[in-house]
Structure 1
Amino acid sequence: MFSPSQADVRRFFCSVYAKALAGSTLEAIETIASQWMDEHPEYATDFADVDAALTSMGTADEGRTNPFLHLSMHLSISEQCSIDQPRGIRQAVELLTHKRNSLHQAHHEVMECLGEMLWESQQSGRPPQGDTYIACVQRHATRD
């Protein structure tokens, strides 16, 4: 299992940003990251300076989403859907996307479920509960 450090994640997104701006060829995962970055132009300055990104690690900007965590969650959800792991996530996200008429909006709602599942896992010391995660996404897809 690949377990990048916080610095690795920041370097990755800054590198993708620089490569995309330069028009360089992107690897598959970089292409997906770049597409999600395009959906979040408000984070462009965060990705433009790798040194600043690394310097700001460990500091929280009150009231502001961590752009590196946010994009990491988009990538995680995209990867989960591509391999349907946990089983049923692809269908649940497709249902939510249809309901919201927006993959982007669906991802943001799925992030709530993903974050909740990870928090509960950390608090309990148990592995993440995929069934609970899928059920949460399905609830989002079936509510108004």
Structure 2
Amino acid sequence: MIQPSQADVRRFFCAVYAKSRDGQPLEAIETIASLWIAEHPEYHEALGDVDAALRAMGTPDPTNANPFLHLSMHLSISEQCSIDQPRGIRQAVELLTHKRNSLHAAHHETMECLGRMVWESQRAGRAPDGAAYIDCVQRHATRD
């Protein structure tokens, strides 16, 4: 598994934004990232200056969402669904997408579950619980 640094993640999304904005060819993973970037115009300013993005790493702003974390979660969920890992995530996200009539909205709800799974895993010092993650997404799909 690849574990890029925080700086690597910021450089990646800034580079994808620049390539997309300039009409340059994109790799497959960059194309997926660019689609999520396009869904979040509120992040374009932050993505437009890689040096500022790197300088901001040491000073998180609790009043604003972290665009790099948010986009990374979109990308992670997209990848999880593409390979159905954990098994069942594709169907759960598809069901939630149908229920919300929006892949974007479904991803945002799935992010809540993904974040909870990671937090609980780290807190307990154990492996992430994929089944609990999928159950959480499915619960979102059954509520109004």
Q: TM-score with structure 2 length normalisation?
A: 0.99
* Pairwise CA distance, 1:26: 0.1
Q: How many residues align?
A: 144
| Code of the aligned partner of 1:20 | S
The aligned counterpart of 1:95 is 95
| 2:40 is the counterpart of 1:68 | no
Structure 2: unaligned runs, 5 residues or longer: none
CA distance, structure 1, for counterparts of residue 100 and residue 25 of structure 2: 33
CA distance, structure 2, for counterparts of residue 10 and residue 27 of structure 1: 17
The aligned counterpart of 1:125 is 125
* Pairwise CA distance, 1:4: 0.1
| Code of the aligned partner of 1:110 | T
| Code of the aligned partner of 1:12 | F
| Code of the aligned partner of 1:116 | R
The aligned counterpart of 1:137 is 137
CA distance, structure 1, for counterparts of residue 62 and residue 75 of structure 2: 24
CA distance, structure 1, for counterparts of residue 27 and residue 53 of structure 2: 22
| 2:28 is the counterpart of 1:19 | no
Alignment of 1:52-63 (within 5 A): 52-63=52-63
The aligned counterpart of 1:116 is 116
Of 59-68 and 75-84, deviating more is 59-68
Deviations 1:54-105 (A, max 9, x none): 0000322122110000000000000000000000000000000000000000
* Pairwise CA distance, 1:49: 0.3
SS at match of 1:71: helix
CA distance, structure 1, for counterparts of residue 111 and residue 130 of structure 2: 14
Kindly report structure 1 stretches of 4+ aligned residues shifted beyond 2 Å: none
CA distance, structure 1, for counterparts of residue 58 and residue 135 of structure 2: 32
